[in-house]
Structure 1
Amino acid sequence: MRFTWLMMIFLCISVPGIVRAQAAFSGLVGTAPIELVLGYYEPESEAGGVYAYTKYHTPIALSGTLKAGVLTLTEKDALGKPSATLTVPAFAVNHGALTGTWKNLATGRELPLKLNQRFIMESGESVSWEKRELMQASSLPTIYFRLVTTKSAADTYPRVRGVKLLDKKTDRLLQEFSVNCQLLGLNNVDVDDYNFDGLADFSVYEAGSAGPNTTSLYFLYNPTTKRYAKSSFSGTSLEFDHKKKHIYERSSSAAGSYVTTATYEVVRNRMVLVAKHCYVLDPERHKLVERKLSACE
């Protein structure tokens, strides 16, 4: 599917604060078409997201504020230095059209910003909609990602029902995977080398549970087919050590009374258990103490 909009911003719902708005816009920066999906929060009135030019489809992260009706978003260069701003002086999420300015901070060059609303990401009971697509902040050199999101009346919040891999140059759909994940926002997709073969893979945030526990789905690149496939990798809050080529898992109880850890190595694209440990909170010493595995079961 080919999109005519060019810029997209979506603020991750995990940012502290109360979500006041998440909405998508399309329009122009100068003469370049854009798409914008914007979020802002209270009480800090933080705002942010990611945008990309359709010609390149490379996501650019944004952060900023919404104060007294003035929306200011800043993008940074590869060194983390602010490089440009997008400003809308009279912002309101329910406006059908928005106008403002894009400014290059190095040269001072300014371009007009013109946007029209495409959709709002509504939540709550009795609200339903289908197949609204959100570009992700992470991308590969030649591929970018879009989530396919759906909100059913039975769910309080939107769900991620699919992930699309698209070619940056042509916007051609390369692969699509069906998933059923919580909507984290612009950071649902992450890129890393999960099987330590020197090639980039990607993951999709699946869910968060008790305490700090999270799970993700892992998709590995096959250099022979030049395609990605869902792996059997699974576990809680996995971390990947590229130097030792180990995968570490950590799972905590909701109250933090016990923690289990595990170490895996990768053999033929499968996780193989190397070691597993159990730690239980000692109330007198106020720290976790290693116990038999049965104590954590």
Structure 2
Amino acid sequence: MKHLTYFIIFFSSINLFGQVNYSGFIDKYPIELSADINTSGNSYGVYVYTAYDDPIVLEGNLQKGKLIFFEKNSKGNKSASMTFEKFNLDSESIEGIWKDLKNGKELKITLSKKNEIGDGIIQKTSIGDRYFRIVADDQNVSEIKIFQKKTDKLIQKLKVDCQFRGVHCISTGDYNFDGITDFSIFESSYAGPNTSSLYFLYNPKTKKYFESGFSGTSLEFDAKRKRIIETNQCCAGSSVTTAEYKVIKNKMILEKERCFKWSEKKQELIERKVSECR
């Protein structure tokens, strides 16, 4: 009998202590910074030099009032740090030090809180000469804005209704396997590890993105096989369905489905008829 050993990965949502947005300077260079401060102390952020608008990803932590972020190079090694000795989420302005970890060079950081985010919150992901901002409240994203780097020219606006995840809302990938990078936005999380996203494909003729209509639970994209894999788990992992799709003319076409049920006797997931998972 065919069976599947299934490893359940538990995803925890980003539990924010605060989402903050600042504008200001590193030395004399204008920047904009957005950050997600986590209740556990782990913090994530992104900043841009406003002359270039190329997102620089930050990872760090907040401990006993000291907030420190690290930048990483292309090899994943820490290359620079941002340190704020007396960070207070409620402060209208903060000061800190940017440091090059290779040569030790230090520059002063001066930032003021942006209470009104008219253009939206910068996302950590960008594509080529374009970068993303999202318009959101504490719970939901209502709009995606796509800008041209350096000029800040607004290229496109897209209305959405998605869960807010700070600077982590946007992801990229080649979702229709045409060799062109597309983007997606996290839509919602459900029971267990199940999630959904909205997928936007790039039209090289119009040079704009359009919503694909791709739908499904926890979709994964196999670039090598050019297939979309859907995984739907319920009942605390005791029932799992998978589906495989090919893409024809930007449409998801179902090729096969599989059903797996937990066997108390064998202590593993066993393949069953698809109808048993419905």
If the length of structure 2 is used for normalisation, what is the TM-score?
Answer: 0.91
Q: Distance between the aligned counterparts of 2:208 and 2:119, measured in 1?
A: 25
The residue number in structure 2 matching 1:75 is 71
Q: Tell me the secondary structure at the aligned position of residue 275 of structure 2.
A: helix
Q: Tell me the secondary structure at the aligned position of residue 94 of structure 1.
A: coil
The residue number in structure 2 matching 1:62 is 58
Number of equivalences: 267
8 Å Cα contact 1:59/1:136 also seen in 2: yes
Q: Tell me the secondary structure at the aligned position of residue 39 of structure 1.
A: strand
8 Å Cα contact 1:213/1:252 also seen in 2: yes
Q: Which sections of structure 2, spanning at least 5 residues, go unmatched? A: 1-11
Offset at residue 232 of structure 1 (A): 1.6
Q: Does 1:25 align with 2:22?
A: yes
Offset at residue 38 of structure 1 (A): 2.8
The residue number in structure 1 matching 2:226 is 245
Q: Which sections of structure 1, spanning at least 5 residues, go unmatched? A: 1-12, 121-129, 151-156
Offset at residue 36 of structure 1 (A): 2.3
CA RMSD of aligned residues (A): 1.7
The residue number in structure 2 matching 1:181 is 162
For each residue in 1:118-173, what CA deviation from the matched residue of structure 2 results, as whole angstroms up to 9, or x when unmatched? 239xxxxxxxxx967211111101100011103xxxxxx52000111110121111
- Per the alignment, do residues 41 and 227 of structure 1 end up closer, same or farther by CA in structure 2, a change over 3 Å counting? closer
8 Å Cα contact 1:132/1:149 also seen in 2: no
8 Å Cα contact 1:21/1:93 also seen in 2: yes
After TM superposition, the runs of 4+ consecutive aligned structure 1 residues lying more than 3 A away are none
- Given candidates 128, 140, 143, the residue that maps to 1:141 is 128
Q: Distance between the aligned counterparts of 1:58 and 1:47, measured in 2?
A: 20
- Mapping of residues 154-193 of structure 1, within 5 Å: 157-193=138-174
Q: Percent identity?
A: 42
Q: Distance between the aligned counterparts of 1:19 and 1:238, measured in 2?
A: 25
Amino acid at match of 2:79: S
Amino acid at match of 1:161: S
Structure number with higher relative contact order (C-alpha < 8 Å, ≥ 6 residues apart): 2
Moved more, 86-95 or 197-206: 86-95
8 Å Cα contact 1:131/1:149 also seen in 2: no
Moved more, 140-149 or 46-55: 46-55
- Given candidates 269, 273, 277, the residue that maps to 1:288 is 269
Q: Distance between the aligned counterparts of 1:38 and 1:119, measured in 2?
A: 14
For each residue in 1:65-99, what CA deviation from the matched residue of structure 2 results, as whole angstroms up to 9, or x when unmatched? 22222211110111111111111111111112111
Offset at residue 114 of structure 1 (A): 0.3
Q: Distance between the aligned counterparts of 2:227 and 2:27, measured in 1?
A: 48
If the length of structure 1 is used for normalisation, what is the TM-score?
Answer: 0.86
Q: Does 1:215 align with 2:202?
A: no
Q: Distance between the aligned counterparts of 1:239 and 1:20, measured in 2?
A: 30
Q: Distance between the aligned counterparts of 1:119 and 1:285, measured in 2?
A: 57
For each residue in 1:236-278, what CA deviation from the matched residue of structure 2 results, as whole angstroms up to 9, or x when unmatched? 1011011110110000004112111001101011111111111
Q: Tell me the secondary structure at the aligned position of residue 175 of structure 1.
A: strand
For each residue in 1:183-208, what CA deviation from the matched residue of structure 2 results, as whole angstroms up to 9, or x when unmatched? 12212111110000100111111001
Q: Distance between the aligned counterparts of 1:291 and 1:64, measured in 2?
A: 45
Q: Tell me the secondary structure at the aligned position of residue 166 of structure 2.
A: coil
The residue number in structure 1 matching 2:3 is none
